């Protein structure tokens, strides 16, 4: 992989069941991820929020699939905007460095309107 190479984007549209199951599996008990009346009426969101860590999982899955057979050495990400149930997230990235047996990829998740909801980078090593 050379710098500038884009990894194939992957679209993810989580369902309410996905949000509930991720909450349960990760012990993320904030009701904004599974309780519509709480999220909308109490907290004022337009709908359930897609977990930041779930978006991180989507980024990791996208990058790992594109970079095989390399092994994921590290990933770091931060959330920049909310994403809600019904949003389709396109996850992708671009190789920014390839030296010394390591490949660094900038990764991102975007909503259909182009808003970046999560961004970061992943480092891969030769197997």
What's the CATH number where 120 sits? 3.10.129.10
**pLDDT score, position 1:** 81
How far is it, in rounded angstroms, from Cα 103 to Cα 58?
19
Residue 70 within a domain = yes
In this prediction the pTM is 0.93
Element (H or E) spanning 53, and its range?
helix 52-67
Residue 31 within a domain = no
Residue 97 within a domain = yes
- For the chain, the domain total comes to 1
Per-residue pLDDT of the chain in tens (127 residues, 90 and over written 9): 899 999 999 999 999 999 999 999 999 999 999 999 999 999 999 999 999 999 999 999 999 999 999 999 999 999 999 999 999 999 999 999 999 999 999 999 999 999 999 999 999 999 8
For 74, the token pair is 């590290």
**pLDDT score, position 37:** 96
Tell me which residue range forms the domain holding 66. 6-14+50-125
Read off the DSSP letter of residue 126.
Answer: -
Task: Please tell me the chain's helix, strand, coil percentages from 3-state DSSP, rounded to the nearest 5.
Answer: 30, 40, 35
Residue 72 within a domain = yes
Any residues with CB less than 8 A from the CB of 6 and at least 6 apart, and which? Answer: 92, 93, 94, 95
**pLDDT score, position 57:** 97
Residue 67 within a domain = yes
Strands of the chain, DSSP E:
6-12, 71-79, 89-99, 102-110, 116-125
């Amino acid at each position: 992989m050379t710098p500038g190479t884009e990894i194939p984007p992957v679209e993810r549209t989580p369902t309410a069941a996905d949000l509930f199951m991720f909450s349960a599996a990760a012990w993320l008990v904030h009701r904004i991820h599974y309780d519509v009346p709480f999220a909308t009426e109490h907290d004022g969101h337009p709908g359930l929020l897609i977990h930041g860590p779930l978006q991180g999982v989507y980024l990791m899955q996208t990058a790992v699939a594109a970079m095989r057979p390399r092994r994921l050495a590290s990933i770091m990400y931060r959330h920049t905007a909310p994403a809600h149930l019904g949003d389709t997230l396109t996850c992708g990235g671009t190789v920014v460095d390839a030296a010394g047996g390591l490949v660094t990829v900038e990764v991102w998740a975007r909503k259909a309107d182009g808003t970046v909801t999560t961004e970061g980078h992943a480092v891969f090593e030769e197997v």
